[in-house]
Chain A
Amino acid sequence: MTLQQQWVALQTILNKEIHRFSRIWVQTLLPPVITMSLYFVIFGTLIGSRIGEMGGFSYMEFVVPGLIMMSVITNSYSNVVSSFYSAKFQHSIEEILVSPTPNYIILIGYVLGGVARGLAVGFLVTLMSLLFTKLQVQNLAITVAIVFLTSVLFSLMGFINAVFANSFDDISIVPTFILTPLTYLGGVFYSISLLPEFWQGVSLLNPILYMVNVFRYGILGVTDIQVHYAFMGVMAFIVVLATISMYLLESGKRLRS
């Protein structure tokens, strides 16, 4: 395939993915906005007013970046895992597998589809948060970069989960038992400086902590961790996950007989 043809194939996969989640927006875009609005009301306004300041900001200001990041993470992940697994389940993935589209274009297409949904939901949740608080972005480049890279990372995780999944139950195991606990313990609702020293150390093993903190740093200018280490960690994770994904595609494991 020429580069021009590969570009057409990439656009096709991305358009297909965007069309898919837009067509079922009631299942894909609306629920996270409603859920996060409830978080803003309950944690930000009702409970947050009794908590007082955290890290020098009102609790609402502190919690909003974490909640935006949480919605980006879960939606990037679930878009790729559900779309790719559905394609496997219906065998429509064969449409791409029999075509000359190279494997890396397939991977990039699905990952960008996940990023598109993650960013769309992140944008909608950010708009909703403006009803509750003012957001003054301190560092736009860092904010955009970390949200994009986080979205890529979790889209890749969703892809790997989809390749290994044998049933629709399998695509909810990782979000339920790994993603949600790590997100809740990843400094979305609190600063790890509130934790005893031992639990601070344990928290540093949680990769989501770094993403949430860098995003919060981009918006509020405060963080519990070193920003450049966080970027390096996220990049390293992306490289590892992309390598695994490409291996799965090239070897045809669970995709070709």
Chain B
Amino acid sequence: MGKALDIKGLQKVYGNDFQALKGIDLSVEEGDFFALLGPNGAGKSTTIGVICSLVRKTAGKVSVFGHDIDQDFSLAKQELGIVPQEFNFSQFETPWRIVLNQAGYYGMPRELAKERAEEYLRKLGLWEKRNDQARMLSGGMKRRLMIVRALIHKPRLLILDEPTAGVDIELRRSMWEFLKEINEAGTTIILTTHYLEEAESLCRNIAIINHGEIVENTSVKALLKTLNKEHFVLDTKEALSQLPELKGYHCQLIEDHSIEIEVEKGQSLNPVFLALQEQGVEVLSMRNKANRLEELFVSMVSKNGGEG
């Protein structure tokens, strides 16, 4: 497998001398589902902007499937589909025309474009709205329209900049399913998101960017392994007036029916259940308290100087 994206020494200094990217190196393998995480202002959107040529880089090299974006810009762009963070289509056009026009900008014959537009608009539930003005669509529909538009020329690399921001849970889940489906069909996907649960459940590899630098670049599994503490919540049958005694564990009563326990890596949970049983506390259910990736993300970003 080759590299879908290869970034070397990417720098971007804006006109006001703000250095948004400080020499980023990043590779994404073909077929990967890759997450690019970072707080606001970390450099995620600037990186994406450079890849799709909306931002002029100050230094460095970027290639998409081996095509340099400066020297082979036409071939590089043919491989690339972009779903930006902000809605960037004409609000007065219809989804049908927006998608067909985009196909035209990639030189796709009209008949083929119509076939594909119908296929994707149906798949993403926009077919009935194809002749409405785009401004009349809901926020979720507008996001899906941008996904259809990005896929119309069948790019091998799809980059989505916070695609599920402001989208309700049900729709978010259906978008995840769709993205998984196209990834399994061979499209490499790079995702930036604020929903870390999204990155954890969709992506295989991950890079964390902060203050214009990559502070972590590894697999999601490897990253999660570095967590040495987890928090569990135990829901009890009876209301508790005080915290049961659980020696060797840091715990607290968070509600009258819920105990939160901090468990270190490798530490067994059996003694907890034995102790609770001895004290007559019946446990009905147990859940992981927080998103594990979120904990890691917060600790990494705070190690690197907080939000930029």
A residues with CB within 8 A of B:
1-2, 4-6, 8-9, 11-13, 15-16, 19, 23, 86-87, 90-92, 94-102, 252, 256-257
Contacts and interface: CB of A to CB of B under 8 A. Distances in A.
Nearest to A16: B101
Contacts of A12: 100-101, 104-105
A93 to B, nearest CB: 8
A11 B92 CA distance: 20
B14 interface: yes
A100 B81 CA distance: 11
22 contacts: A2-B107, A8-B107, A9-B106, A9-B107, A12-B101, A12-B104, A12-B105, A19-B97, A86-B90, A94-B88, A95-B88, A95-B102, A96-B105, A97-B54, A98-B82, A100-B74, A100-B75, A100-B105, A101-B105, A101-B107, A257-B14, A257-B54
Nearest to A5: B107
A8 to B, nearest CB: 5
A8 B88 contact: no
Contacts of A19: 97
A8 B110 CA distance: 8
B96 to A, nearest CB: 12
B57 to A, nearest CB: 10
Given A16-B101, A92-B89, A256-B54, A98 B149 contact: no
Contacts of B149: 95
B90 A1 contact: no
A101 B53 CA distance: 12
Contact of A11 (B46, B77, B98, B104): B104
Nearest to B149: A95
Interface string B60-103: 00000000000001110110101010111111100001101110
Interface of B: 14, 46, 49, 52-56, 73-75, 77-78, 80, 82, 84, 86-92, 97-98, 100-102, 104-110, 149
A95 B54 contact: no
A171 B64 CA distance: 38
Contacts of A92: 88-90
B107 A4 contact: yes
B54 A98 contact: yes
A23 B54 CA distance: 29
B56 A257 contact: yes
A98 B107 contact: no
Given A90-B91, A98-B52, A98-B53, A8 B74 contact: no
B142 to A, nearest CB: 12
B151 to A, nearest CB: 14
Given A87-B90, A92-B88, A100-B73, A252 B56 contact: yes
Contact of A98 (B77, B89, B100, B108): B77
Nearest to A92: B90
A15 to B, nearest CB: 8
A19 B67 CA distance: 35
Contact of B108 (A8, A23, A90): A8
Ranked nearest first, the 8 interchain pairs of A and B with the lowest CB-CB distance are A5-B107, A12-B104, A99-B105, A91-B88, A100-B74, A100-B77, A92-B90, A257-B55
A19 to B, nearest CB: 7
A98 B100 CA distance: 15
Given A9-B107, A95-B98, A252-B56, 16 more contacts: A5-B106, A8-B109, A12-B101, A87-B90, A90-B91, A91-B86, A94-B88, A95-B88, A96-B105, A98-B80, A100-B73, A100-B78, A100-B106, A256-B54, A256-B55, A257-B14
A238 B86 CA distance: 36
A215 B247 CA distance: 98
A2 B80 CA distance: 17
